Amino acid sequence: MILLNVVSIVALAATVVMLLVTGQEAAIEGGQRFSQASRAAVIARGGELSAATGLMRDAVDAPETDHLQEPWAQIQDEGVKIRGGTFSLTISDAQAKFNLNNLAEGGLASAQSVALISTALDLDPAQVEQIALRIRESGLLKELSDLTALGFPADELGRLSRFVTVLPSATAININTAHQELIAAVLGSDAAAQQIVAQRERAGFVTPEDLSAIGVTNVQGLGFTSNHFWVRTTVEIGDARQVRTVLLRRETSAEGHVISAIGRWRGEAAPDASIGTPRAVERKGMSGLLDAAAVKLTLSAKLGNIRDNVPHNAPALTRRHPYIEI
């Protein structure tokens, strides 16, 4: 009987110890996951800040044009090794497409552009015009998928997204980053679009003088610079995965050059299907901005201000710099 009691006590004690050990292991594992997720979030945020710094530098060094041979456009870091995982970063020009919210202001140029694009995509012009009317009556779209609420077929959004996007203010199409098909649709000339792209490939970009030489005189709705950019960062550390997409707006004001975050999305879903799509350009990554532990911002001279205008449910990571507000 005594032996039986001793055995029972030992078994009970062993069970308690096992539960304690299992609980400690779970706590340690949970702590590791939390640590990994926190570190991934900080690095993802650092990638966003590094992209903003590069765009600020571009505004200072080359304010006359934005094109696909500039350093910001050639950043295509995919799977860069960092301590315990990988880091990916892409920057794309949000003004490489026609902005549907231009229709809120009306105007002949925007209406003509939509008519040409609908023809190029074999869409019903009456349907596109109805969408334009609804935008003017109901207000700006927030995402391209909002078109489905206006009666646009969801299965046609993919075709439409090749040429159009949604931005929070009126924008011109950057002729130095737009696809040849879009340029042809807006100009109504395949030949002119081919010559423009050929000149871009030779020189890296086109100028107003280049367009005049080609014979393009009506450039309404087209521009040579951009103020809106998509930045997408993906960080994987252990089991943690952080994917962030931010829309940056670059402006020049009395304070100098200012970059603001005006929209942010978490997870794989992005408001523009083309975000993160590799481009056929020489890759020059941002690996130099990363060390084994974290992302470091490298700043030179007075570049301007970087602001975060996106409301957060939780307190945002905040850093201070004499010339940068985040």
93 pLDDT above the threshold of 90: yes
At 80, which CATH number? Answer: 3.30.1300.30
pLDDT band at 199 (very low <50, low <70, confident <90, very high): very high
pLDDT digits (tens, 9 = 90+) for 77-87: 677 888 888 88
304: pLDDT strictly greater than 70: no
Residues 107 and 207 in one domain: yes
Per the listing, tokens 């590791």 go with 32
What is the β-pairing status of strands 320-321 and 173-174?
unpaired
Please give the average per-residue pLDDT across 174-178, as a whole number: 96
Q: What is the pLDDT of residue 31?
A: 61
The per-residue pLDDT for 250 is 93
Total tally of structural domains belonging to the chain:
2
**Of the residues 223, 246, 277, the one at which a domain ends:** 223
Q: Are residues 70 and 126 in the same domain?
A: no
Instruction: Give CA–CA dist 239/62, Å, rounded.
Output: 41
Mean pLDDT across 184-196: 90
Nearest one of 308, 310, 311, 304 to 319, comparing CA atoms:
308
State how far the Cα of 103 lies from the Cα of 131, in Å rounded to an integer. Answer: 9
* pLDDT, position 104: 80
Quickly state the pLDDT bin for 302 (edges 50, 70, 90).
very low
152-163 pLDDT, tens digit per residue, is: 788 878 778 888
Query: Looking at the predicted structure, is the pLDDT value of residue 197 above 90?
Result: yes
- CA-nearest of 148, 141, 147 to 170 is 141
Note whether 56 and 114 are same-domain residues: no
Same domain? For 107 and 206 the reply is: yes
pLDDT score recorded for residue 326? 32
Last residue of a domain, one of 168, 193, 223: 223
99-103, 157-161, 312-316: lowest mean pLDDT where? 312-316
Select the more confidently predicted residue: 28 or 67.
67
Instruction: Please check whether residues 216 and 242 belong to one and the same domain.
Output: no
Residue 272 has pLDDT above 70, yes or no: no
Directed axis angle between helix 180-187 and helix 190-203, to 10°?
A: 140
Do 206 and 277 fall within a single domain? no
* Helices assigned H by DSSP within the chain: 2-61, 108-120, 125-138, 157-161, 180-187, 190-203, 208-214
Per the domain annotation, does 117 fall within a domain? Answer: yes
199 and 313 in one domain?
A: no
Closest CA to 147 of 119, 185, 118: 118
The DSSP code for 281 is S
231: Cα within 13 Å, side-chain hemisphere? 26
- pLDDT at site 9: 54
Query: Looking at the structure, do residues 76 and 152 belong to the same domain, yes or no?
Result: no
CATH number at residue 205: 1.10.40
The answer to whether residue 6 sits within a structural domain is no
Give the highest mean pLDDT range of 68-77, 109-118, 163-172.
163-172
Whether residue 228 is predicted with pLDDT greater than 80 in this model: the reply is yes
Separation between Cα atoms, residue 76 and residue 239, nearest integer Å:
23
Measured distance CA(273)–CA(158) in Å, rounded: 8
For 199, the domain range is: 96-223
Last residue of a domain, one of 176, 193, 223: 223
Residues 231 and 85 in one domain: yes
**Pairing relationship of beta strands 256-266 and 305-308 according to DSSP bridges:** parallel
Half-sphere exposure of 120 (CA within 13 A, CB side): 23
Would you say residue 23 lies in a domain? no
pLDDT of residue 311: 45
Structural contact between residues 97 and 166, judged by C-beta atoms closer than 8 angstroms: no
* 198 and 152 in a common domain: yes
Q: 24-50, pLDDT tens digit by residue?
A: 554 545 566 668 888 888 888 888 888
pLDDT at 13 over 90: no
Tokens of 29: 């594992």
The overall average pLDDT reported for the chain is 74
Phi/psi region, residue 223 (left: phi>0; alpha: psi -120 to 50; beta: rest), is beta
Taking Cα atoms as reference points, which of 199, 195, 204, 202 lies closest to residue 67?
Answer: 204
Residue 24 lies in a domain: no
**Same domain flag for 50 and 137:** no
Identity of the highest mean pLDDT range in 96-100, 128-132, 299-303: 96-100
Does position 312 have pLDDT exceeding 60, yes or no? no
Give the tokens for residue 315: 């307190």
pLDDT of residue 46: 85
**138/182 same-domain check:** yes
Q: DSSP class of residue 144?
A: G
User: Can you tell me which residue has the tokens 């952080």?
Assistant: 242
Q: How far is residue 128 CA from its own chain's centroid?
A: 26
